[in-house]
Amino acid sequence: MKPDMQPVWLKEFQTFEDKASALSLDTGVSEQLAGMIRKCICPGQTLAVGKPEYVTIIESNLVSVAFPCLLTYVNNS
């Protein structure tokens, strides 16, 4: 493991019946997903996401001076 890398643990997992309404370019981030992210990620931590477009959606809807976090795309293949 690189010296600046930290292990991660799953803090919470929720399924979303309608994934398109939970996270989309048109509607942004649902309140349920936004609440989960805010509860589990502290300022300055990195949030790993499954698709590159999720980085764009989450950054444009949630990341701000008041809630700074880093996002990274994780390729599982």
Question: How far from chain centre, in Å, is Cα 42?
Answer: 11
Q: Which tokens in the block code for residue 22?
A: 């939970």
DSSP β-ladder status, 23-24 and 28-29: antiparallel
5-58 pLDDT tens trace: 666 667 777 788 888 888 888 888 888 888 888 888 777 777 778 888 888 888
Reduced DSSP (H G I as helix, E B as strand, rest coil) percent helix, strand, coil of the chain, to 5: 30, 15, 55
Give the pLDDT score at 42.
Answer: 76
Q: Which tokens in the block code for residue 15?
A: 């399924």
Gap between the Cα atoms of 56 and 25, Å rounded: 8
Give the pLDDT score at 51.
Answer: 83
- Domain residue ranges of the chain, discontinuous segments joined by +: 19-73
